[in-house]
Chain A
């Protein structure tokens, strides 16, 4: 009897600060409700119900976020740290997630939308032919997206390695599925999903192994204990460094940093474009949120050890991304390599190890997220009979046929290239100056060179659209529906605003660069 009492006293339910967790809980709850909608709502109504539910949940989550205490606190047995950085990242994920959902919900460009009607039907079979014409789509994309967003929100506030790993899987698994749901070119899409899954599993294994090694080193998996152990310099240093290396590998993969980037072009190309947009904006935020927390909160003491490594990674990533972008013929692959290079720029800011490093990385994530979402939204509009026309040749002469869309795309390309008065300039300037202040000169030099190289593929698209004579195979530009228009407008406005008047967001990011340990 006595024994049981003691045991019961030992396992005390951890105190939960529901107010601080409310944003996440709302999105998770909406995800569960969304699954129920799939089960019970009639098929014809599902799309509209799911769209409304998802958008409302994301907005509600964002509103709840505004009321969270900003002093920084730990909750759920210190497994979750709700600090300003975490809140900023969560808010960014919610906003950019919302914009992505607008693209996911778009159905006016092609009957039924970008997603397949029955994912289970084998590509190439007789049933498959009917699917293309079907006006339905696999509305499971909405609960999957909600779970992915909620997982990302948990990931960026995870305060111990185990929660971090769980969150990593919670947001990764839905993404693997989402990648395979394209309506057109289904084989390519499924191949992308499988590749992403296999390689993602490989990377997750590294991460999990890192968690185990770290437990072996510190006897705990939370960042505070690990930090204390490192400070006290107890335990086996080889164990510590091996464990850190494994953890870093897992995160480098998610962020698409070289040499763990090879999945990016294939997956970006194969996945349905709204999902690609979602990944390039939100996954990047989650991954860099994790990297920032790991480096600044958990292993800040070891910065002399990991900084040379990450400087090397950043340099390699920027060079690989920019050089390979030069010869790409497919727009989605081009944007994939651009996203790799941009991950390198982001890492340059992140490894500065100062306050500006955090704030500039946060700013960059927001700015880049809006621009890349906008660019992919434009990709969705340029289509032919087989769906999106992503080969660059098909974009020739677009400036004459649809000047407005061409102008918008040009604007995004200029932003990617970092031309002043766009957010691309401000954000690059911010990360480079942070890195300089943090004495990381070499990645800045390479970063400027990489930006120069990248200007070529970006401007080549502009030249194609305006100067090159349109060939016979020119693609049509569809009139964007309300959702895509909204997403495009948001992308353009944010890119312009963050380029012309970046100070308010810079200030916010500055205030947000405060971790709790």
Chain B
């Protein structure tokens, strides 16, 4: 079964190739618009089955580690890059998540995109994304990871701009691509440094030789990797692209910008845990980034009125939790992965629910104009509700079993930093409960506040709601199944190290759990009380600078504009000036010189055989003279 591992990647890749090529004029006859979505879903479905098979095969291996060298990719001097696959507990978890959730979202998209003329292209891009994401998590070296990293970046760009005739989508896609570039440069330089220092870029080679690196190098590499992770995962200070990315179709938001791609940063840090564990500074920075981001996400999430925007900021904040967890290190690595998995289920479910609501409400997303939809969309309401309960972390749903221990470990971090991180995580849990309750109540309960054009909202077709049901079941059970008896920590132990409990707790676990639940329930009830009777239909003027800041995304865009874009523009202008005056002048001058020489030399080519013969004679004299002169020397 494990020898078929390459098929897991190859199937969606082939699907993408077929679906995208089928749009070429000579191949239109195949009529791929009619069956493309089935093919696209089937490739991912079969990949999922293969992944399940591979998972059980891996379970039977005592070392839980399988590597397969496929072929040599770049054999140049000392740089030996082989294309190889690594299937270990960590990649297994990701492969199952990507193909499983990916398959459900493919199926959902069959219904969601039914009326879109570009459905075949959409499924082609989705397949491309799945293939790239699988390359990212299945490679056994940093270059494979980088290739997949760029591949998912491309797929994300294509899918955000799927409706490229909408200026907002085109802009959002460019924004995502450019901000990711910043992070990608960090990742690339980290790989360069690793190769320069260690002469290898395989995980095996790098991680077994981390001790040879100086502590400064380790910290530098770790921070560069972190920069890459921040870009891809929408973490501070590179978080501004993720909410804009919601301009893409909702299934894309669910799959790429909630469940899988944006968690690649967490994967990177977990995968590179030997590097991060070797640098206290880097771990501290990861924690700080995670804590800041989770607060940013929560605060802005409270101020947003668009359903997908709220969910987007909640994604930012939940990934912040994951970063915080992997930054804490040790046993918390597994917690980060557990939260990632649980989040993959409930956030995908929430987004699909949002898509279902918008599908029934003529593509509106403003939660102030919803209300009372639970009666009209019961399945959506129930599945969305289960996802909601999971994200705010109420027992016995998955979010509780993953988020609560993260808060616990944050408090357990030695020194005063533990109080800061723990406090932020606890406050974040409260805020999450607040804004998610606001969303839930405004959309599904209370009075109707619909716009006039909506008469009969309807439940989505079966092909859309049953993936939501599956995801809802996952949201309920996932965290519990994985966390019970430390099953996931044990499973991941070969990669992330043996789990061991901290000997002492700052706060008694029982007390802390009760506190968390208490904060969550109070915040949720407060929000429910505040919004049960509805809300203003328009944005209200406020004086509080806090609210204004939250409405403006905490000035992240203004910050980017002032600090990066404006100086960047000036720099470009200066460079263009020098380029056109200095460099172009030189290049054009050179070209003119060559052209002029050419025109002048052409005149020697008279067409007269006598002048050719004369040239030959001169040449002959020169050759003889040169040789004889060389002999006399």
Contacts and interface: CB of A to CB of B under 8 A. Distances in A.
A229 to B, nearest CB: 15
A437 B362 CA distance: 70
A252 B604 CA distance: 19
Contact of A259 (B597, B598, B616, B627): B616
B626 A266 contact: no
A244 B599 CA distance: 35
B616 A245 contact: no
B615 to A, nearest CB: 5
Contact of B626 (A258, A263, A309): A309
Given A238-B628, A306-B630, A324-B598, A259 B609 contact: no
19 contacts: A194-B609, A195-B609, A199-B616, A206-B620, A237-B631, A238-B631, A241-B624, A241-B630, A242-B628, A245-B628, A259-B616, A305-B627, A312-B626, A313-B623, A323-B597, A323-B598, A324-B601, A327-B598, A456-B591
Interface string B577-600: 000000000000001001101110
A487 to B, nearest CB: 24
A263 B631 contact: no
What 10 A-B pairs are tightest by C-beta distance, nearest first?
A: A259-B619, A262-B612, A327-B598, A245-B624, A326-B598, A245-B627, A241-B631, A305-B630, A309-B626, A241-B627
A199 B616 CA distance: 9
A510 B52 CA distance: 49
Contacts, number: 95
Interface string A232-252: 000001101110111011001
Interface string A429-470: 000000000000000000000000100100000000000000
A308 interface: yes
A28 B560 CA distance: 78
Nearest to B619: A259
B602 interface: yes
Contacts of B609: 194-195, 198-199
A381 B612 CA distance: 31
B391 to A, nearest CB: 49
B71 interface: no
Contacts of A306: 627, 630
Given A262-B615, A263-B612, A265-B605, A248 B623 contact: yes
A249 B619 contact: yes
A309 B630 contact: yes
B623 A249 contact: yes
A313 B591 CA distance: 24
Interface in A187-218: 194-195, 198-199, 202-203, 206
Interface string A299-337: 000001110110011000000100111110000000000
A320 B604 CA distance: 11
Given A202-B613, A202-B616, A206-B620, A326 B595 contact: yes
B594 A326 contact: yes
B546 interface: no
A253 interface: yes
B618 interface: yes
B507 interface: no
A260 interface: yes
A253 B617 CA distance: 12
B594 to A, nearest CB: 6
Interface in A256-275: 258-260, 262-263, 265-266
A365 B143 CA distance: 36
A462 to B, nearest CB: 17
B interface secondary structure, majority: helix
Contacts of B594: 323, 326, 453, 456
Contacts of B607: 266
A308 B630 contact: yes
Contacts of B626: 245, 308-309, 312
Nearest to B631: A241
Nearest to A262: B612
A194 B598 CA distance: 27
Interface in B524-582: none
A7 B125 CA distance: 88
Contacts of A252: 623
Given A199-B613, A327-B599, A260 B630 contact: no
A405 to B, nearest CB: 16
Interface in B52-97: none
B4 interface: no
A198 B609 CA distance: 8
A313 B595 CA distance: 22
Contacts of A308: 626, 630
Nearest to A265: B605
Contacts of B481: none
Contacts of A246: 620, 624
B624 A260 contact: no
Given A199-B609, A260-B619, A324 B602 contact: yes
A198 B613 contact: yes
A142 B626 CA distance: 42
B622 interface: yes
A327 B598 CA distance: 6
Contacts of B595: 326-327
B25 to A, nearest CB: 10
Interface string B452-496: 000000000000000000000000000000000000000000000
A244 B605 contact: no
A237 B632 CA distance: 9
A304 B616 contact: no
Contacts of A327: 595, 598-599, 602
A238 B627 CA distance: 9
B617 to A, nearest CB: 8
A258 B615 CA distance: 10
A203 B619 CA distance: 11
Nearest to B601: A324
B623 to A, nearest CB: 5
Contacts of A262: 604-605, 611-612, 615-616
Contacts of A263: 612
A414 B601 CA distance: 26
Contact of A195 (B604, B612, B620, B624): B612
